[in-house]
Structure 1
């Protein structure tokens, strides 16, 4: 989505399994849980909006659609949201 709307972004890799089979990954560290309370990926941080953190795939898509005014026109939102929620 970021590519499609033309926003600049930086990918930060998160090691999900640093020590082997039974170790907890970086997503469980307190600093990550501050931006993603359920320790889930993906999450984005909008540095243009007071470092707003947005987690959950559907919420991210809706946020980016609203912010960019692309792919998420008001007249189409009900249909878009139905399909988006069906995928979750």
Structure 2
């Protein structure tokens, strides 16, 4: 993977993680690096799920794929906030 691919994954992870964090109600006391990491993982897993469902390559913006990624990020942020808050 090239450096531009890594930077793109970080930016997309930041956006997906932030959207996932906005979906979860209440305040999440997790660091921003964890939000980015969750966003990156959610974006990658969401892309694989969308490809498995056959909705990864559509014309225009892939709204279904984006919804899957944000839902996964919201679940990840919620889980991480629950686990991180117990420390």
If asked which structure has higher relative contact order (CA below 8 Å, sep 6+), I would say 2
**TM bracket (short chain):** under 0.3
TM-score w.r.t. structure 2 length? 0.27
Which protein has the bigger strand share?
Answer: 1
TM-score w.r.t. structure 1 length? 0.27
When Rg is computed on C-alpha atoms for both structures, the one with the higher figure is 1
Which protein has the bigger helix share?
Answer: 2
